[in-house]
Structure 1
Amino acid sequence: MSTTLTRRLRQADVSQEKKVEAEAPDEQEDEDQDSGDCKAIRLTLMEEVLLLGLKDKEGYTSFWNDCISSGLRGGILIELALRGRVQLEAATLRKKRLTDRKVLLKSDTPTGDVLLDETLKHMKATDPAQTVQTWIELLTGETWNPFKLQYQLRNVRERVAKNLVEKGILTTEKQNFLLFDMTTHPVTNTTEKQRLVRKMQDSVLDRWVKDPHRMDKRTLALLVLAHYSDILENIFASLADDKYDVATNRSKELLERDPEVEAYKPSATEMIWAVLAAFNKS
């Protein structure tokens, strides 16, 4: 009798150990995903913005869209913050507003992404530190100071597109537009793009939580960036009329919140609201 009981206990222990081993990778994956540096995060915010902005077959963004450049640079700042490389300086009585607080370098450890690492080098070499709005202007080259044009990140769309080509989501083609030839990047992995579109749609429909601080941080950031990159319509275009109205109204309600109020709430990611404040001010 005791032998049988001992055998059962041992079997139960083995089963429990196997269960723990099976669960451990998922727990580690969650921890890595929170850090922002794990392979489970397939795309950066910049890559997601560009992918959502591209026309699938044509492989280029709208010629009338002059907002996506700033959106991509805003995505760089948020991505760096989510990866623990930068943060806003602490609020003081004199510098309480998000648009007045400087971006501080927490770590210059390379991320493995060329654009992110190039931005880190600029920030490390800049003294004094600059605000979010100033960094967006510097990185886009929209600065009045000719001595700071070296901070401009050049060919960002093309470099992000090449990253997506390497990840098997886009391809590269040459198209003739009467007077000139242009490199285009049609979508080849439509499954990945549709997954992203559905995730964004669900965030304001079936998985709507009303409170932005309960939303996934990357999803919230992408909604902000998509709106100010003028590509939010691309995300909701496939919805039926009734769901389209719900999605746009909820997005509008979220984006019209006061960043200065939201940034100081518990669990808020300040950089997301700082980028929103910078976009509102520009």
Structure 2
Amino acid sequence: MATASGSGLTRRRGVGGASTDNEDNPTNPNNDSSRVASPAPRKPDDARSPDTAYESVGANGHKIAFDPRDISENEERSRQPKLTLMEEVLLMGLKDKQGYLSFWNDNISYALRGCIVLELALRGRISMQKDSSRRRFPLSDRVVEVVDETLTGEVLLDEALKMMKSSEKM
């Protein structure tokens, strides 16, 4: 192991380095750290999942990197209900010990409204008006229209969809 003089920086060598420390040795079977630039190959009985996986998706065939541990469904995650974005924002505003909402300012209200609009757009219920002459206007001045008025099954989204549909006729 080489140390820079006075700065405290260290440089580790790859496999076959001159390190005599048993815990810093990358070929040590008890060492789980992957701090070495070129680690020793894993044994076939190693139960750890790969750090990065690649998937070829799309018409252009570009590889997309992802962490398989993020995508894998474990027992805890399958028991928890799936929350919408607006429900997650609402839960962030709850006071844990007091049990009430801490939304004192209107900015959170705007964020929740934005989450409702985003959730409806992601579900394909609303979209921006497809008028080429309106593209020069900023997004805040463009018209949002209801594309699909079928109910989602969630009370907040359904009420917002009904209000948007009724105000669309004006």
Higher relative contact order (CA 8 A, sep 6+): 1
TM-score, with length taken from structure 2: 0.46
TM-score, with length taken from structure 1: 0.29
| Structure label with greater radius of gyration | 2
Structure with the higher helix share, 1 or 2: 1
